[in-house]
Amino acid sequence: MRVTTEQWLSAFGTSSAEYPIYQPAPQRAITADCDKAARYGYIQLAMMDLDQQLAACYSQHLQLLCSRYDAALERAGFESIAIGSGIVRNWFLDDHGHPYKPDPHFVQWVPLLDHPGSCVLYHRGQKPKLILYQEDNFWHAPPSIPQGDWLDGFDVEVIVSPGLLIHHMPDHYDQLALLGDPAQWPTILQAAHQNPQDILNYLDFFQAIKTDYEASCIRLASERTVAAHQAAEQAFRNGASEYEILVSFLGANQTTEEELPYRAIIATNKHAATLHYQQRCREARKPYSLLIDAACSWNGYASDVTRTWTLEDNEFTEMISDLDEVQLSLCALVKPGVPFGDLHSQAHALIADLIHHWGLVNMGADELLDNKVTEVFFPHGLGHYLGLMVHDAGASVSDASGTLIAKPEHYPNLRLTRTLEAGNVITIEPGFYFVDALLSDLSHSPASTKVNWSKIERLKKYGGIRIEDNLLVTESGSENLTRQAFASITQKPLP
C-alpha cells in the first residue's frame, strides 16, 4: 500500500501545513519507541514538503537571474550564452573517475545535481532553454527527467548524444559565450567564447547577493545539517571512532559523503589542531574532545557548520563556552554596511581577551595583538561567503568589473573583504587551536617568556575549538540560520 507524505507526518502529530518556508521547523519530539528508519523518514519527508514550497519564490529567482544575465551579456557584447552542467572526468589512465559535481552557474538556474552533459541556453530577453542529456546506456542508469512547476520557466529539449548539442546553438558563434568546463563542448563550438572574464566578473559579484529562493535553500540545508550534527554528537558520546561518527552523520540524513558540499572534518582530540583534518581514524581512542566541521546541502546550496564538544565537563569545556560567547557577540555585529575586515579585527581583539582571561600568556590584550600572539591561536579568517560553493564567489571585489579590494594590512590573507549588504550569506567561525608548528614559532619569539607553557602542554590533547554558524544578512541586521535550526530540532538522540 502506498503511504502518502501526509500519512507519514500525521503519525508524528503534524502535517505539511505546519511547515511554512520562512519559518524554522516546529518543535516535534520523536518518541523513543520509533525505530531509526521512521526517524529518518520524518526528517526526509518533512523536507520534501518544504522543497515543494520553494516553487513560490523560484519564479522570482528565475526572473532576476534572467535580468542579471541580460546585463552581463550586454556589457560583454554577446547575444547568447550556454551554461554547462559539467561532465564526469576519469582519473588518469583509468576508466573510472571522480564523483560528478555540477557547475555552480548551472545549478543557480536549475536544481539539477545529476545531469552531466546538459546545459541552459539563454538568448538575451528570451525564455531560457534547458537541454537535458539523457545517454542511451545500459551500463549506468540515466538521470530521471525532472518534474515540477519550476520547469514552466523553460523550453525543454532532450538529447541522447553530446554531438546533438550543436543543433540547439545559434548560428553565429561570435555572439555566443560558453560558461563552464571547456571539455563539455563539442569541438565545433570551440570557436565560441569560453568563460569570458567580463561575464564571470559580473556574475561573481552579484552571486554574493542571494535571492529569496537561494536563502531558503540554505535555510533548508541548515535544518538538515543540525539533525546530522546531533547524531554525530551522540555517536561521539557513545565512544565511536571518527569513522563511525562520520557514518552516523551521513546516516542521519540518508546521504553519501560525495553528496556533501565539502569533505567532512571529524577530528577527535589532538586531531582538531589540524584545521582541515582529513583522516578518519577507524580505531576508537580515549575521547577527550570532538571538533566536527560538516554540513549538508539543498538543491546544490551549501551550509557549513562546526561544533566542538568534550566528553566530560572540565576547563576545556569552559573554554568552549567562552568562545561560544565570543562567537555570538560577533554574530550580533553582522549587519549591512559593516566591512567584514572590521569583524575579523574585532574577533582578534576578543580572542586576545580570552588568552589573557585563560592565563595562557601574561600580556594585556593590546600587547597580544601588537606581538601577533592571537594569530598563533587563531590562524584563519573569521568567515566567508556561502552559497552555491562553500567558499562562494565575489568575496574580494568591489564592483561588477572585478576590481579587487585591498587586503587589510594586518591580515593580508583574509578571504572575505567586501562590505556586508542585505542578501549576503556568510559564516562566522572563530577558532582557537594548539598547533605545534605555530607554538614552536611562538617559543622562538620575544613573547615566549610570558607564555604559560605548562598549561598549554596540558591543553594540547584537546587540539582546538571552532564554532561556526551561517548568517543571512537582512535589511536591519542578520538571521542566524544555524542557531534557528538547532533551536527548532528537539528529536531525541539517535541510538
Write out pLDDT tens, residues 28-53.
232 222 233 333 343 443 333 446 66
Q: Look-up: residue for cell 590584550?
A: 365
Task: Give the span between the Cα atoms of 480 and 486, in whole angstroms.
Answer: 10
At residue 198, the 3 state secondary structure works out as: helix
Q: In the predicted model, is pLDDT for residue 59 greater than 80? A: yes
Q: For the chain, what are the domain ranges?
A: 56-207, 212-488
B/e letters for 154-172, b = 16+ CB within 10 Å, e = fewer, are beeeebeeeeebeeebeee
- The pLDDT score that the predictor gives to residue 495 is 35
- The pLDDT score that the predictor gives to residue 212 is 96
Average pLDDT estimate for 98-111: 96
- Longest Cα–Cα distance of the chain, Å, equals 74
List, in sequence order, every beta strand (DSSP E) within 351-397: none
Pick the CATH number of 212-488 from 3.40.50.2000, 3.90.230.10, 3.40.30.10, 1.10.460.10: 3.90.230.10
In sequence order, the β-bridge partners of residue 302 are: 297
Say which CATH topology domain 56-207 has.
Answer: Creatine Amidinohydrolase; Chain A, domain 1 (3.40.350)
Q: What is the pLDDT of residues 331-387, one digit of tens each?
A: 999 999 999 999 999 999 999 999 999 999 999 999 999 999 999 999 999 999 999
Q: Please answer whether residues 468 and 384 qualify as being in contact, where contact means their C-beta atoms are separated by less than 8 angstroms.
A: no
Q: What is the pLDDT of residues 164-193, one digit of tens each?
A: 999 999 988 889 999 999 999 988 787 789
Q: Look-up: residue for cell 523560484?
A: 58
* Cβ contacts of 35 within 8 Å, gap of 6 or more: none
DSSP 8-class letter at 257? G
Which of 50, 54, 52, 56 is closest to 18 using CA atoms?
50
- The pLDDT score that the predictor gives to residue 52 is 65
Return the C-alpha torsion angle 114, 423, 121, 78, nearest 10: -140
The three-point CA angle 143-144-145 to 5° equals 120
Q: By mean pLDDT, which of 51-55, 117-121, 396-400, 446-450 is the weakest?
A: 51-55
Q: By mean pLDDT, which of 8-22, 102-116, 394-408 is the weakest?
A: 8-22
Task: Give the span between the Cα atoms of 105 and 196, in whole angstroms.
Answer: 14
Residue type, 336: P
Task: Give the span between the Cα atoms of 100 and 119, in whole angstroms.
Answer: 15
Task: Give the span between the Cα atoms of 89 and 98, in whole angstroms.
Answer: 6
Q: In the predicted model, is pLDDT for residue 6 greater than 60? A: no
Q: What is the pLDDT of residues 436-448, one digit of tens each?
A: 999 999 999 999 9
Q: How many CB atoms lie within 10 A of CB 96?
A: 7
DSSP 8-class letter at 404? B
212-488 shares the fold of 56-207: no
Q: Please answer whether residues 298 and 21 qualify as being in contact, where contact means their C-beta atoms are separated by less than 8 angstroms.
A: no
Average pLDDT estimate for 105-112: 97
Task: Give the span between the Cα atoms of 247 and 231, in whole angstroms.
Answer: 9
pLDDT class of 490 with cuts at 50, 70, 90: low
